[in-house]
Structure formats: structure tokens, C-alpha cells
Chains A and B, each alone.
Chain A
Amino acid sequence: MAALARLQARLSGLREEYFRRNRSIDEDRKIEYKAAVKIQSWFRGCRVRAYLRYLTKMVIFIQKWWRGYRSRRYFRKMVETAYFIMKMNFYNEMAVRIQKRWRGYYVRKYIHNYYALKKYLEAISVNNDIVRNELQKYAEMKENEEKRKDLEKKDKEKRYQARKMHYLLSTEQIAGIYNSPFRKSPDPMELLLRKSKPLSHRRQQTKSPFAYELCDWPTCRRPPTFSTAQPLPPIGRQKPQGPFRDSAEVLRQRYKPLEPTLRVAASISSPLEKAREEMKREGWRNCIHDNEFLPFSSYHKNEKYDPSIHRSEKYGQETYGIKHFREVQPKKWVADKDFQTVLPSIVLFEKFGKTYSRTGQIV
């Protein structure tokens, strides 16, 4: 009970204290509440911030990877194009070199062949010299011919004059005009007179159909016609005395053309000979092989028969080709196109060092 009394004494104080404590607590409560709210909000904020930070980091990470991927892809493309351009330039260079050489060769050989042209021009000069020489010779020959014709004409005239004036020849007693005693030797005309036969009047009548022919001959205006006809018997000759036949008859008989009989006119070989020759020729023609005496048909029976290659193999497709060489069987393919990788492999790099390139597929 003492405790209780003490407690009751203290009660009023307790109440006050209780009240005071509650009031102070109350009064602190707001402050504490606000402080707690502040603390909590700060903490939440930190949490959220931490969370955001975490999110940002993750996002940056993803974006970083994605961007890296995109630019690697782009870089690859750039490298490929650069490589392609480099290769094309190289090819163009080489093509230019080849074309340069080829064009130079072609032009020099076919279109403007300097050496052939030079040779041609030299050949033309040589030919021109030849032609000039020949023409020169021809001109000289013509000149000579003309001179010769002139000389001949003059000569003929002189001779004709000499024959006409034959009476001017000198005799023993009287010296002719061309043989004056005061000269050392007679004039050439005198010599000519001595040589020539006197012209008879009958001959003078025959004019010059023959003279025309004679002066045609050197210039070949008319080719000389050699008469191939039979020579005619001479007319107006005196008949020889005696028991001779008429000369016309004799000549007729002598020059009678030959009229052979049929037997003589036919060829030397008789029909029998001809037929024999014909048979021989036919035999030679129709001969197929030289072996005249063929064996009988049973000659071949024992021979082994050699079949052809086609028959001697078994039927069917040879496996030889399939297993050893690479074959393409498009019917077995799943899809039409090739499988596509995510990042396609660089075809050009794979074909580096090989002969052919599939140009045009990259750009």
C-alpha cells in the first residue's frame, strides 16, 4: 500500500507529467513527423534516384552496344566499297595497259604501217624507173624505126632514079657525068648506075599494089598472108614438044587430093580391138578390190565378233561422274536463294586471290 499511496501522491504530478509529456510529445510529434517524412522522402528519393541511375546505366549499355554494332556494320560497308573501288581501279589500269599496247600494235600494223608504206613507196620508185626505162626504149625504138623507114625510102628512090637514068652510065670512050676524069674516084651515083639493071618500060606500068604491101610489112599494118591454097599451074607456058600429056592434066593428077577408102580412113584398130579395149577399161573401172579370188561365205564363221563400245558396257548411268566431282542438284534445294547470315560474310574477301570476280553485286 505504500506503493499505492506513493503512486497516488505522485498521481497529480503524474498527471501533470503525463500531460506534460504528452504535450511535449505532441509538440514534438509534428516536428518528428515532419522529420520522419523528410527522412523518408529523402530516402525514397535516393532509392528512386538509385533506380534511375541503374536504369540509365543499363540504357546506356544497350545503346552503346547497339551503336557499336551499327557503326561496325557501316564500317564494313565502307571497307567493302573502298576495296571494290581499289580493285576496279587496278583492273582499269591493267585494262588500259593492255588496250594501249593492243591499239598501238593494231594501228602500227594495219592502219598506218610505216614500214609497209616505206616499202611501198620504194617499190613505186623502182617500178617508175622500170616504166621510164621501158618507155624510153620504146621511144628510141620508134625513132629508129622512123629513121630506118626514111633511109629505106630514100634508098629506094635513089635506086629507082638510077635505074631510070641508066643511060648516063659512062662508057669506054665517053665519061659519064658522074665519072668526071678530074675526080679521083667515080661518084657514088656512078657506082649505083653500074650496079643497077636498066628499067624496062613494061615494068613501069605495074604500079604499086605490091609496093603498098612492102611498106606495110615493117609496120605490120597487115600481117603477111602466106597462101596456103594450092599453087595454080602457070598459064601461057609453051607446051613441051613430044609425046607428053597436057600439062594441065598432069598437074591435076599430081595435085589431086587424096580420097581414101573407108577401110583406110577408119582407124587402125579394128572393131575387135576396140571392143577388147573397151572391156578392159570397163573392168578397170568396175574393179572394187584387188582380191580376185574371194573365199567362200563360210570363211567368216569362225571369226570372233567385236562389239562396239556402246554394246560392250552395261546399261545405266556411270557412277564415275557423281562421286568424284561436285554436282549441283537444284531440285533438292530447300529454298531458291542462298541462306542469309545476319551479317553477310564479305564475299570479296573470300575471293581474294582468285581469278574471277563477281563484279557488280556489291555496289
Chain B
Amino acid sequence: NSGVMSLLRPLLLDVVPTIQQTAALALGRLANYNDDLAEAVVKGDILPQLVCSLSEQNRFYKKAAAFVLRAVGKHSPQLAQAIVQCGALEMLVICLEDFDPGVKEAASWAIGYIARHNSELSQAVVDAGAVPLLVLCIQEPEIALKRIAASTLSDISKHSPELAQTVVDAGAIAHLAQMILNPDAKLKRQVLSALSQIAKHSVDLAELVVEAEIFPVVLTCLKDSDEYVKKNGATLIREIAKHTPELSQLIVNAGGVAAVIDCIGSCRGTVRLPGIMVLGYVAAHSENLSMAVIVSKGIPPLCACLIEEHEDHIKAAAAWALGQVGRHTPEHARAVAVANVLPTLLAMYVDTRSSEDLQMKASIFVTKKALKNILQKCTYLPALEPLLHDAPPNIMKHIIGQFSKVLPHDSKARRLFVTTGGLKKVQEIKAESGSLLQEYINTINNCYPEEIVR
């Protein structure tokens, strides 16, 4: 506010190098703090001056200049666009070729912040030829440099399949896959995030990632003590599992399902979400895979998630996953019903229906679909009984339908149905004659002699 920019600007061109560096550092810190200051830096025409003399300067100046660029670029896409327009990307790429690892780190950090915003900026970064240099940076021995380079690659490849393909073509996958074994937790976070951003776009990319032999090493990441490493590991497995049944099969064969289930059991909160979605995707592809999930004892953790978590989207994800597991055949539905999770699902559905929050709409839809899918295949009557008492009419239709399918053939079930008061409850239901519900009720009533029905 007090005209600091115009004072600092001529200092950048000072003869003494230390003054240049300190001025650049000061500008960087100012821009780092606030949006408006960063804009003022851009408007004050400082960037071209920073950039023009960068190649002859020493490494401290380069570090400070890269810091300024990073601080300006991180706030918004427009500022990053301004940086790109004044030709800073070429300078940053030149910095990436420098010998000093600190300079490389600062340059790749700046590039990462620029590429983070949208795919045009990432494309500009790629066009400046940064990707092969970043892949070289990953191979350097310094841990901090590796971290930043991995995070930059992750930011570049997350926008579109073409960018991910460019990153893959530079040979990044092999190096990233090797670094999964590194003991540093933050590095593992970035590496796993980069691999999952690459794998999420298409089947071919996912297959390329899998061919780099990440299984079963990735499963050790699910046992790491750092929460975010677990989360990113589960995200990577999720991005691979969601494409085709063959990839899910591969994950199941490598024992990934067991590792993910243990991971869900040991975490709390949003960290669980990708793991839950892994189970959902794996179970959705085919009934054999869904049976594999059941056999690996996947249902109890999902039920626990449903009950314990407070966040809406996690509960919706758990409900969705349970729906995918239970929807294939009566065997699967039985496995889900035996875990006593249907009353919880029903309560959740009724709950979310009563509150008219807009965010709940998605979870209402998901819960309803899950419930419907499981109920349509469920023939395990003891689990359906408690649902009779407080289900809303559209769910009641399915429950009564299932009863009407099973009761005519099973005499023990008929006896149980009467003794537990189910028949009485069915009589109390009023349905329009000619509707499906009435037909089901008639079928049930026909199973019993007249006196009992009255």
C-alpha cells in the first residue's frame, strides 16, 4: 500500500547481487501472503525484469525468482496465465536444468503451482518442455526435490488423458513405481497421488501403471502409519479398479481386497472414502468378484462405516458399496442381510428423506437404489421382517413382493410369518386394488386358510 512495489523494483536491477536476491525474496514473501499483492506484483511489471536476466544469475537469485513466480502463480488461474505470458516458463525450464538441487526444487514448485489450475496452463507447461526434465528431477537423490517433482507431475497429469499420456511417454511411471518403496512418507503421498492421477483417465493408462508392477508393493502403503499415504494408496487402487473387470480381478488376485478392508477398519473419517469405493467398484463388475469381496470379510467394515461415520458422503458411499455387493444374486443379498445392515439402511433412507437439504438429494438417491437392489434379490426372510414395520410405501412394495415370492413354497417360513405378527402387519397395509402391492398381498393371503387371514 505504501508504494513498496515501486521501491523494490529498481532494487532488482542493483549492481550488488545480494541486494537483488533480497529484493526478490521480499517480493516473493509479499506476493505469497495475499491475492491483491500478487496482482500488484504482476501489474507493476516486475515479472519481465525478473525473468529476463535469469539465465546469467547465480543460484540464489534463481531460487528467489522462482519463489516469486510460485507465490504469484498459486493464487488464481489469471495470475498464472500472466506469468506464462511474460515468458517465465522458459526460464523456469532453464532453471530445471541447473545443477543445484535447491534451484531445481524451487523451479519445479513454481511449475507445479502454475499447472495446478487448469488444463490450458498444464498444456503450456508441457509445451515448454518441462516434463522430461521433471522426470530427471525425480531420479535425483534429494528427497525434497523428488517430492516436489512428483507433486508437479501429479498436477500436470490430473487434467486430461493427453497430458497424462505425455507424462507417461517421458517414462515417468517406472521411476514413480520404484519410489513407492521409499520410506519417506510425504514422498510416498505425492508418488501415489501422481500414479492415481495418471491411472484415472483411461483403461490403457491404468494398465500401463499396473504393468509397472506396483502390486503387491502398493499394499504395504496401505499399512503405513501416515494417514494420507493410506488414503492416496487406496485412491490409486480405486482408480485402477474402476475401469474393467480384468483389472479388478487382478487386484483381487493380488490380495488387494484384504489389504483395503484392513485399511478401512483401521482409519476414521474421509481417509476411508477411497477404500470404500474400491470395494464398491470391485463388487460392481461381476458376481464372482462380489462374492470374493464377501469371502474376504468385506461386509462388516462397510456396516461399521455406515453406523459410525457422521459425514453424509461417506455414509452414501458405504450404502452404495453395500448395494453393489448385494445386488447380484440371492446369495449375495443374503450375505448382506445377515449382517443386519438393512434396518440401518432403511433408517438412513427415511432420515434423509425427511430432511430437505439439497446435498442430501444425492445420498437419498444412492441409498434408495442400494436398498432396492438388495431387496429385489433378498430371500432371507428373518432379515426382512423388521423392515415391515416402518418402511415407506415404495420400499414396502419390494418387501411384500419378496415375501410373496418365498412364502408359497416354504411352510416353516409361513408359520414363522404368522407367529411374528407379520401377517397382521400385512393386513394393515392399505393398497389400491389392481396395483402390484395388492397382488402381492393377495398372493400372501392365499397361502393361508381363511380363518387365520380374518
Contacts and interface: CB of A to CB of B under 8 A. Distances in A.
B183 to A, nearest CB: 5
10 contacts: A120-B292, A124-B295, A127-B253, A128-B258, A131-B216, A131-B254, A135-B259, A138-B220, A142-B223, A222-B141
A55 interface: no
Interface string A24-68: 000000000000000000000000000000000000000000000
3 cross-chain pairs, A with B, having the tightest CB-CB distances, nearest first? A131-B255, A128-B258, A139-B223
B408 to A, nearest CB: 27
A132 interface: yes
Interface string B218-229: 011011110000
Contact of B219 (A120, A129, A135, A220): A135
B291 interface: yes
B442 interface: no
Contact of A128 (B143, B220, B222, B296): B296
B257 interface: yes
Nearest to A123: B253
Nearest to A121: B295
Contacts, number: 56
Contact of B183 (A121, A125, A135, A221): A221
Interface string A191-224: 0000000000000000000000000000111100
A220 B182 CA distance: 9
A219 B183 contact: yes
Residues of B in contact with A, size category = 20 to 34
Nearest to B295: A121
B296 A138 contact: no
Given A124-B252, A128-B255, A221-B183, A135 B288 contact: no
Nearest to B257: A128
Given A121-B291, A124-B296, A142 B225 contact: yes
Contacts of A121: 291-292, 295
B258 to A, nearest CB: 3
Interface of A: 117, 120-121, 124-125, 127-132, 135-136, 138-139, 142-143, 146, 219-222
Interface of B: 141, 143, 183-184, 216, 219-220, 222-225, 252-255, 257-259, 262, 288, 291-292, 295-296
B143 A132 contact: no
Given A131-B254, A131-B258, 17 more contacts: A120-B292, A121-B295, A124-B257, A125-B296, A127-B255, A128-B258, A131-B216, A131-B219, A131-B259, A135-B219, A135-B259, A135-B262, A142-B223, A219-B183, A220-B183, A221-B184, A222-B141
Nearest to A126: B255
B220 A132 contact: no
B28 to A, nearest CB: 28
Contacts of B220: 135, 138
B184 to A, nearest CB: 8
B253 A135 contact: no
A279 to B, nearest CB: 50
